[in-house]
Structure formats: C-alpha cells, structure tokens
Structure 1
Amino acid sequence: MSESKVVGFVGYGAMAKLMAKHIRAAGYTVIAFTPSAKGGEAEDGTRMLSSPRELAAASDVVMVSVPNDDALESSAYGSDGILAGMKQGGLLINTSSVSPRASRRLFEAGSEKGVGVVDAPVSGSTPEAEKGELVVLAGGNDADIARAAPFLDAIGKKTVHAGPPGQGSVLKLVINGIMVSTMAAISEAAGYGVAAGLDRDLLLDTLSGLAVVSPHHQHKIRSAGSGNIDPQFPTWLAHKDLGLLLADAAAHGAPLGTIAAATQLMTLVNQDQARDDYSAVLPTAMMLASTSDD
C-alpha cells in the first residue's frame, strides 16, 4: 500500500463513516462529499469537499455509498459528477445497494474514461460495519477486483466475487429478498399466534430460540419484540431493495410470488415507519392481527 493514496467517499452516512474508519486505520487518507455538508469538516474530522467532481479529482480511489439509483445518477454523471473528475486509471468502488442495471451502466461509463469500476454492495449493517466484518458482494472484472481488494479487505471479513459487472448487485438483491421476506413471514405467523390466543411473550421467546429461525432473525425478534426498532436497516431501504428485486426479476422472467407478497406488507410498514428498522414489520403484523380479531 502506498501511504500517499487518498480514498474519497461520496455519501458519508452512518455506514460510510464506519467503513471510512477502517480505511483510515489501514493507512489511507480519507476525504468525503455529501450534499448536506459541502466543505468544512465532518464530525469525525474528515475533510469535506464541495462536489463529487472535486472529490474525485483529489482522490486515488473513490468509494460511493448512496441510497438508491437516483442518488447514484446525480452524483456520478454530468459536468459536476464523479466521472468528470476521475483520472484515467482511477478506481471507483460502488458500495451502494442499487439496481444491477445502474451498476452495469456505471461500469460502462467508467470504462469509456479508462476508470475501473467495481460494484461492491455489502451484506451486514452498522454492527458489522463497526467491527469491519461486512461481507462484500463484488461484481467486476478480475483486474479491477484485484485492485479493489485492499480496500474491500479493510471494510469486510470476506469478499465474494459474484461475477462480471452488475452481479454483485444481483447477489445483494437475492440476499435482501430472503432476509426481508423471511422477516415478513415470521411476523405474519406471529400475528396469527397472538390472534389465536398464544401469550405474546411466550410466542416471541419461543421463536427467538428455534433452529429454524436464523440468528439474524432471532436477534430481530428479540429487539423488535421488546420495542427496539432503532434503524440498523431502515424500512425505506428494505422496501426500496424489494422494489429493485421485483423489477429485475421481471426483466429476467423469474417469478417472485412470495417476495411480492412480502413487499406489500413492507409497503404498509413503510407508510408510517420508514425510518424505523425493517423489523418494525413484527409489531405491525401482530397489531394488525390482533385488531382484525376484535
């Protein structure tokens, strides 16, 4: 590693700040841009630049952590975007959860400028990011993945090379589809149990200790059941990812009936609890079942 390397983050929310901490610990200099804080310094002392283009011009490697396709579009393209400021031979690592189509478009646009692009969404939330134990789901060519490895190793415990550009995004949607739809199914079944007369605490305690329920979902049952829905993975992001999954699956002719049904339930939760953790579906489903039984 060259001590002179500068890693620029476009998007500097909770996940990005935790990833940046590990990038900094690996010996790199970190700078950042976010639309809400142009210039000055972030709370952690990171120097903030005034535009994506300015940040890219000052960086050897750019890491993007934005919430959706629209945010990627506005930050990457145009006269003031990331690609306008990147040097030929630069490396762009996109950790955002976006559509496979958006990831492939970014790769193609980067290639036209001689910039390597890797789509590298992550599996894990703020606790895993804090510990540097994310699983990185990387899409890209072998050479770009190899160049990105030191940075991906800094933020995660494992990198899965899912295939060519865009396939990291595909794998991310598969994982989130399983995670969110499973939580929705658990929540509906728990709602039925309460409506049918099971003691709520007995039910949740039982579900949170079963081998058929994953450790992740056991934790969510315990937290949401006790009223803790602090956002590790906000509902609006979970709902967004389900929408991306359904759209891309439709383009490939892949039926997703179970996940489509879960999306409807998450749409309901998203109306009033968009900023709460996606596990808010559990108390919501139990409340709905109890109300319908009255």
Structure 2
Amino acid sequence: MSAERKIGFIGFGAMARPMAANLRKAGYEVAAYTPSGKGDDQTEMFPSARALAEWCDVLVPCVPNDAALRKSLYGDDGAFAGLARGALVLNTSTVSPDCAEEVAKAGDDRGLAVLDTPMSGSTPEAEAGTLVMLVGGPDEQVERARPILKAVGKAVIHTGGAASAARVKLVVNGIMGGTLAIIAEAVAYGLSSGVDRDVLFDALAQVAVISPHHQRKLKMAKAREFPSQFPTRLMAKDMGLLIDDARAVKSFAPALAVAAQSLCLATKRHADEDYSALIGAMERSVVNTP
C-alpha cells in the first residue's frame, strides 16, 4: 500500500462513495468536501476544499464538469491553496482535454503532481472495485499513484502525458453513447414495424453484437425503469466535450455528432435518469406507450 494514507475526495456522489468504500477496505483513511455538505456516516466532511486539502496526502476531485473542477481547485478557498508542495492530485473527473492540461500545468506551477485519472465503468463497477483507471501524466507519478488506483480498479492504464487519459475517456464514452443511440434507433424501428416488444428485447438479450454494458441498458429499457448508473446529463456533457475536441483537432465525427444530438431527446425530461432513457424516449416517439 502507498505510504500516502489520507485521501480526500472533492465531490462525493454516486461514483466517489463506492470508491471511498473500497479505499477504506484497502486500509486508507478517507474524507471529503462537497458544496452541499452531504456525505455518509463513515466519512468526515470538511467545510471547504482548502480545509480538506490541508488534511489529505492525496486529493481526488470527482466533479461533473470543467467549471466545477476549476471552482474546487482555484482561489483562496480552493484545494490548491491548501495542498502541501509535492502532494498528489488524481483528477477522476471527466473534463475537457483543455481543462485537464490547464489543471496539470497549474498544479505543476505550484509544485504539485497532478494526473488526469478518469475511470471507465459505472456504479456497479465502482462498487465491485472493477473500474478501469485511465492515467495521464509522468511515469514516476503514475507509479506513485498505482497502489491507490488498484484499490478501486481492476486495471490501471497509463495513456501518456497530461490530458491523454481525458482524451481516451472521451473515446470510450463516445463509443458508449454512439452505440446506445444506434440501439435506441434500431429498437424504435423494430417496435414501429410491429415486432412484439418482449420478443424484441428477449432477442437482443441473447445476441453477441450487444456488449454486456449495453445489455444492462436494454434490461432497463425493457422494464421502462432507468436507475441512474450514468445520468443522461453527464453522458450528454461528455458527448459534447468529444465533439468540441474533435472539431479542435479536425477529426471527422459525423455519427458521433448525430448521437450527441440524439441524447438531447432524453436530456430534457430524463436528465438525472440513466442515459439508457434514450431508448425509452425513442420508443415513446414511435409507439403509443406510457
């Protein structure tokens, strides 16, 4: 186990809480800061990001977007003001590559070791400790972080320099979101053409072309229940980040752009439900369902 024992989470939502539980099982101390002050019975909550940073050896931001990350790190009450020189920052937030690079540079300017470490996986993987941890940054700092990351994940993949992990995460989520959009359209076609609903969903549950991840999404859609393993608003945000960066690097991504727009169909009414709610939204668009 790492000699750095005290781990502080900024943001303590659906992914951070099970990660914290697995870190405790591995022998680490865990505390957190959230603007709302909400935590759990086992976790000490600090009054500010700076106060948390003054306590911890390793800081783990786990926030929803660029703006939230910048707000938590910068300023007099931000975490960077409280971290000791040389402290390790594992940024698990899914943010734009530009933001990941900016934060890494800002940390370096302050003598901090900042890695972008977004995870691949949803709440079931976070609970089981089987996330895939993507890591961007210098080799020596990746090795320093590896014991901590192995406590929450089944694999640690060093993707390259700063912001490389942020880009790989967008690739992963682009495949997830793009594939889900295709599934939703195909299901809507099947239902619109008169295929029996149960027959259609039961068939899709058996075929090899549907990944285990998307099998879970189809199971939700069949039940018309979308518990939030990955909220629609966050998937829509990630698809937007991908399209923005694809434009910036002049990468041709028309299918991903259409998928990003398709998610808008679900975001307005199902922002906090799982992103598989797009399948339900597409079903309602072609069939008279509740």
How big is the shift at 1:3?
6.5
1:258-269 equivalences under 5 Å are 258-269=255-266
Counterpart AA for 2:28: Y
- For residues 23 and 45 of structure 1, the distance between their equivalents in structure 2, rounded to whole angstroms, comes to 12
1:215-230 equivalences under 5 Å are 215-230=212-227
1:125-144 equivalences under 5 Å are 125-144=122-141
- For residues 2 and 11 of structure 2, the distance between their equivalents in structure 1, rounded to whole angstroms, comes to 24
Render the CA deviation track for 1:87-129: whole Å, top value 9, x for unaligned: 1110000001111111111110110111001100001011100
The TM-score, its normalising length taken from structure 2, stands at: 0.96
Equivalence for 2:26:
26
Moved more, 212-221 or 145-154: 212-221
Q: CA 1:239 to 1:4, structure 2 compared with 1: closer, same or farther past 3 Å?
A: closer
Aligned pair 1:59/2:49, yes or no? Answer: no
Match of 1:80 among 74, 77, 90: 77
Equivalence for 1:206:
203
Counterpart AA for 2:274: D
1:225–1:282 Cα contact (<8 Å) kept: no
Match of 2:91 among 82, 90, 94: 94
Equivalence for 1:166:
163
How big is the shift at 1:289?
2.1
1:137-156 equivalences under 5 Å are 137-156=134-153
How big is the shift at 1:84?
0.9
Counterpart AA for 2:180: M
Equivalence for 1:68:
65
- For residues 147 and 3 of structure 1, the distance between their equivalents in structure 2, rounded to whole angstroms, comes to 10
Q: CA 1:2 to 1:205, structure 2 compared with 1: closer, same or farther past 3 Å?
A: closer
Unmatched runs of 5 consecutive residues or more in structure 2: none
Unmatched runs of 5 consecutive residues or more in structure 1: none
1:208–1:219 Cα contact (<8 Å) kept: no
- For residues 197 and 227 of structure 1, the distance between their equivalents in structure 2, rounded to whole angstroms, comes to 19
Moved more, 81-90 or 216-225: 216-225
- For residues 210 and 99 of structure 1, the distance between their equivalents in structure 2, rounded to whole angstroms, comes to 35
Moved more, 21-30 or 146-155: 21-30
Equivalence for 2:12:
12
How big is the shift at 1:2?
6.0
Equivalence for 1:254:
251
Q: CA 1:191 to 1:12, structure 2 compared with 1: closer, same or farther past 3 Å?
A: same
Counterpart AA for 1:112: D
Equivalent pairs, count: 288
Please state whether the residue corresponding to 1:278 is helix, strand or coil. coil
How big is the shift at 1:213?
1.3
Moved more, 76-85 or 241-250: 76-85
Q: CA RMSD in A?
A: 1.3
The TM-score, its normalising length taken from structure 1, stands at: 0.95
Counterpart AA for 2:140: A
- For residues 135 and 2 of structure 1, the distance between their equivalents in structure 2, rounded to whole angstroms, comes to 19
Moved more, 165-174 or 215-224: 215-224
Please state whether the residue corresponding to 1:161 is helix, strand or coil. strand
Match of 2:102 among 93, 100, 105: 105
Aligned pair 1:48/2:78, yes or no? Answer: no
- For residues 158 and 71 of structure 1, the distance between their equivalents in structure 2, rounded to whole angstroms, comes to 27
How big is the shift at 1:209?
1.2
Q: CA 1:221 to 1:152, structure 2 compared with 1: closer, same or farther past 3 Å?
A: same
User: Percent of aligned pairs with the same residue?
Assistant: 46
Please state whether the residue corresponding to 1:254 is helix, strand or coil. coil
- For residues 58 and 265 of structure 2, the distance between their equivalents in structure 1, rounded to whole angstroms, comes to 40
